[in-house]
Amino acid sequence: MNNTVETWLWIGTVGMLLGAVLLYFPLLSNQSEREEGDLVSHFYVPLIAFTLYLVMALGAGALTTSVGRVFYFARYIDWSFTTPLLLWSLVSSGLHGTNVRRPALLWGLLGADVYMIVTGFLAALTDNPTVKWTFFICSCFSFLAIYGLIFGPFKKLTATGPNGADFVKKATVLSLVWLAYPVVFLVGQEGLRLWSPGADAVCFTILDLVAKVAYGLWAVSLAKKSAGALESGFGAMPTAVR
């Protein structure tokens, strides 16, 4: 394994472990139902990522394709679990305190997300350009569907509750960070191969640490604030009115 790649896979492993430990403590002191969904999901996200980074750092979780490119498929196993968890906690915390229950809409969002990762995996796996770019486009359309659902129906529905403003803040940050993933794919080894495997490892590791650990810590702190506000009667209004 290339030295830069190996170093960054270990940075990812240690960073995710640290993130999981940091995100475990808020779980122990949880006092409210409002925070529960956020706390549980934001703990599992770095824990899952730690496991898959460890697999990659130890030299597994990758295969060599027909043109000699090393493809880290373990990233896609990580994303298949962590991205649905991140979207689920974004939406369920946004809807908390409203009377809205739209399970089919939530399943639609999670379905688009899993479809995005699976078609992205197929695009990354192959070296056949027609197959690669066909699945890349499928994956990008699913990504657009995710944006459409978040900033369409879910933004409207969460606006009826006390966490609507936090939902918009989190959704904005999440969509900006997530946007960098297809760009790295496009430029890196899985796409046009304009830069080295080391550059891929650096970018994906930094992105993963931001999208999972930094975002998770921020989301949990927002959940704590919002639970405090709900307890002291603030923000309970919209629920009571409905």
Residues of this chain that bind ligand RET (CB under 6 A): 45, 79, 82-83, 86, 116-117, 120, 123, 136, 139-140, 143, 178, 181-182, 185, 208, 211-212
Q: Is the Cα torsion angle 222, 227, 231, 235 positive or negative in sign?
A: positive
CB nearer ligand RET, residue 72 or residue 178 = 178
- Min dist CB 161 to ligand RET, Å, is 25
- Min dist CB 241 to ligand RET, Å, is 35
CB nearer ligand RET, residue 98 or residue 189 = 189
CB nearer ligand RET, residue 13 or residue 139 = 139
Distance from C-alpha of 143 to C-alpha of 94, rounded to nearest angstrom: 20
- Min dist CB 13 to ligand RET, Å, is 15
CB nearer ligand RET, residue 161 or residue 188 = 188
Q: Compute CA distances 43 → 17, 112, 227, whole Å.
A: 10, 23, 18
- Min dist CB 162 to ligand RET, Å, is 26
Nearest residue to ligand RET, scored by beta-carbon proximity? 120
- Min dist CB 199 to ligand RET, Å, is 15
